[in-house]
Amino acid sequence: MTIPTTYLLPARIEEEASRGRILRMSSHEGSVSVTTSDQITEEGLKAVGNTPDPRTRQIVEALIRHSHDFAREVKLKPEELLYAAEFLKRCGEVTDASRHEFILLADVLGITMVVNTITADAPDGTLEPSVLGPFYRSGAPEVPNGADLSHRGDADGVPAHVSGRVLAADGTPIPGAELDVWGTNANGLYENMDPGQPDYNLRGRLHTDEQGRFEFWTVKPVSYPIPADGPVGELFEATKRTNMRPGHLHFIVSAEGYTTVVTELYTDDDEFIDSDPVFGVKASLLAHYELITDEEKIAAAPRKQPYWDLRRDLVLTPGTRTGVQFTAGREEPSR
């Protein structure tokens, strides 16, 4: 940040300079005869013209152009600009270890899925990306194939068995692929936003076997409301949009030599499947759960009651394995 030297006394200027708080890297001299909004845009672009990193310069210049055009298009009023600043301030205030309101805002404005769509390289038949969401936690416990991610059994919801293979586009199995999986309980709450759930409940990391196979138990996803007690909730109310997300199960699928995919599989018969407020649903990500009621199959599972079964292969494309540079924390765990 550059501190305008015209606002500083000479002694203060010297003090601030000694602390590195005055930047003298730009030779741009602002015009004193700016009279139109277009001229302000021109001056703003000139002001960042010496940005050394090309990508940073590209982003900042585009931000200046489009934000100025936006203000002109809607004839933005001073009080509206101040309201927007206050809105963003409150997004920061409501954000904590277990909840990230800014990510939620990007999701509900569709920015997240626009970014995912323009950067995705997913040929037909391969696993497409969807939103990460603001409730992902890194460091989920590693579990063996066949493990139950529910720590509370029936208290978490109706059991669901999920199985399939991780494959290359030509059908070759990918052994050792990692699946980082998480979801909500029957109340639509992730464990890190619900102190009543055990730590890392309904979360886990598992790896495919030599044939690329995986399987685990969880609970069938349910639709749930995006938190409406913060600024994003006010946005939903102002625009009269639904805040109900269709039921889904989160995956991060990764393997050496393949592009990491952050995605969700959406329950195909969910009543909100056509109105996802974060625009994450794609036809290729619809998942059909079959209700198993046959007593022999239930006993062989082994289960004591009917359960849901999902079988789904996940196809990756060659590329670079990457990590996710975000993690949420957790509210105070239950005792």
- From the centroid of its chain, how far is CA 328? 11
Tokens 């056509």 belong to residue = 274
pLDDT above 50: residue 7:
no
Average pLDDT of span 221-230: 95
Q: SS3 of 249, please?
A: strand
pLDDT above 60: residue 156:
yes
Which positions ≥6 away from 209 have C-beta within 8 Å?
145, 175
Residue 174: the pLDDT is 99
pLDDT above 90: residue 272:
yes
The two structure tokens encoding residue 171: 């059908």
Q: Which residues of 145-181 are buried (b: 16+ CB within 10 A; e: fewer)?
A: eeebbbeeeeebbebbbbbbbbbbeeeebbeebbbbb
Nearest residue to 99 via CA among 277, 280, 224, 232: 232
Give domain limits for the chain.
Answer: 1-25, 31-74, 101-316
Nearest residue to 116 via CA among 287, 285, 280, 323: 280
pLDDT bracket for residue 121 (50, 70, 90): confident
pTM for this model (two decimals):
0.87
Is the distance from CB of 277 to CB of 105 less than 8 angstroms?
no
Q: How far apart are CA 234 and CA 237, in angstroms?
A: 5
Average pLDDT of span 66-81: 98
Tokens 């038949």 belong to residue = 125
**Element spanning 12, H or E:** helix 10-18
pLDDT bracket for residue 330 (50, 70, 90): confident
Residue 13: the pLDDT is 60
CATH number given to 101-316: 2.60.130.10
Q: How far apart are CA 231 and CA 90, in angstroms?
A: 7
